Amino acid sequence: MENLQNKQPILTLNDLYASNVIYTSRPSYGSNPWLELEEHQCNFSTGRELIISGQTPILVHAACVTNKLSLLFKTVGIKIPSNIWKFENQTTYEKLIKKLAHEYGKKIHFQYAHEPEVLKNKHYALDKETLIALNNKSRLAEWTGYKYLPKREVVTVAEFENSVSNWSFPFVIKPAGDLPTAGGYGVMICYNNEDLKNAKQKISKASHMTNSLIIEQKIEAVNNYSVQYVYSEKEGIRYLGATEQLIDQYGHYKGNHNVQKVPLSVIQAGKEIMEIGVKNGYFGIAGFDLLVDKKNNIFAIDLNFRQNGSTSMLLLDPFLHDGYHKFYNYISPCDNEKFFNIILKYIQKGLLFPIAYYDGNWFNNESVKSRFCGVWHGSNKDYIERIEEEFSKEIYDNK
């Protein structure tokens, strides 16, 4: 296997954040009806930035940094960074954040805003109100400079029933306001009355926390790009690259793959949006979902002023084979040991690059499925799809 020890990511978190900053990608433990707050998935997400953290300390769940991850990383010639703060549950997570801020004088860079009981705004590395405002879907027009907009309407929950009756299928319903969404959860694509009925049920359950909704044109996209940028005082604005998002017909996230040729018009549209974000106080990594239809019109449907699922894949390009790259998440469908050993086998073959591993066997008193995310990489898409199929047969065989 190729020796990767002397290779480095395109950039790391310490290229972006001050030396007194600590990073956490975990959503708050607080209630949010529009975010898939399955506890183990949220814990798993904390391991995703380990490999690109550089010297920036990060908060990581203990199940993300067991000997199993050490072995996966060792296989590709890298080590788990030492600058990590481990937590085990909500109590230890929130206690650790408060200790780092209050006793150690650290600033916390949150991927998602937390409740004020967890930490006051003055301890945020990126201003909390800026983070919330830029990720508020109802304010998308402001952050795009009133360009690249699908037809959309922002209505109160009370107005929704009457307003939606004026729309023709298909259309999209999204929560407005300050609560974050991710992975397509909270996005309700309606093709028919049954979909609309299901959406209304979700809205009813969330009405105690949601004041307004967005009804939006469903774009028939030819391409679905996630274009990513970074800003720091040192770097200025820099284009990191783009991936194409893989989603199902209802908008749920299924991974990303790399794209070699992105239209300059799409890159420029994303840069314009990033410039507006920076003018409003943003720094760090951001990714914007830009759709292109058959007439080459560009539509901004979601702005994520935070790191994205495929950010690590873009930054780890020097470690990957030239050709086709696909970022993907797996939850063990079988025995955790079998799952791990099959993953290890494909990493040893040089076809799968590890990013994060959540060790279900770390938990002694409950049955937890292990989780893994990484990048398939090889000469071309057809080849990798055949390898993926072989991998899936192995992990699903006899479970």
CATH architecture for residues 316-396: 2-Layer Sandwich (3.30)
- Nearest CA among 23, 1, 156, 132 for reference residue 76: 1
* Fold held by 219-305: D-amino Acid Aminotransferase; Chain A, domain 1 (3.30.470)
Average pLDDT over residues 137-144: 95
Checking if the pLDDT of 36 tops 70, the result is: no
pLDDT at residue number 184: 56
Give per-residue pLDDT as tens, 282-296: 999 999 999 999 999
| Amino acid 185: pLDDT | 62
The tens digit of pLDDT for each residue in 114-126 reads 999 999 999 999 9
Per DSSP, the residues of 107-166 read: EEEESS---TTT--GGGBSS-HHHHHHHT-GGGHHHHTTS-SPPSEEEEEHHHHHHHHTT
Residues annotated as part of the active site:
306
Where along the chain do its domains lie?
Answer: 13-134, 152-217, 219-305, 316-396
| DSSP H or E stretch at residue 285 | strand 284-293
Quote the CATH superfamily of domain 152-217: ATP-grasp fold, A domain (3.30.1490.20)
- Distance between CA atoms of residues 14 and 123, nearest Å: 18
> Taking phi first (over 0 means left), then psi (-120 to 50 degrees means alpha), and beta for anything else, what does residue 171 get?
beta
pTM of the model: 0.93
pLDDT of 37-81, one tens digit each?
688 989 999 999 999 999 999 999 999 999 999 999 999 999 999
What pLDDT, on the 0 to 100 scale, is given for residue 335?
94
Q: Is it true that 152-217 and 316-396 share their CATH fold?
A: no
Q: Strand, helix or coil at 60?
A: strand
CB 84 within 8 A of CB 57: yes
Residue 150 CA: distances (Å) to CA of 215, 216, 220: 10, 7, 11
Each residue's pLDDT tens digit, 207-238:
777 788 999 999 999 999 999 999 999 889 99
Tell me what pLDDT residue 234 has. 87
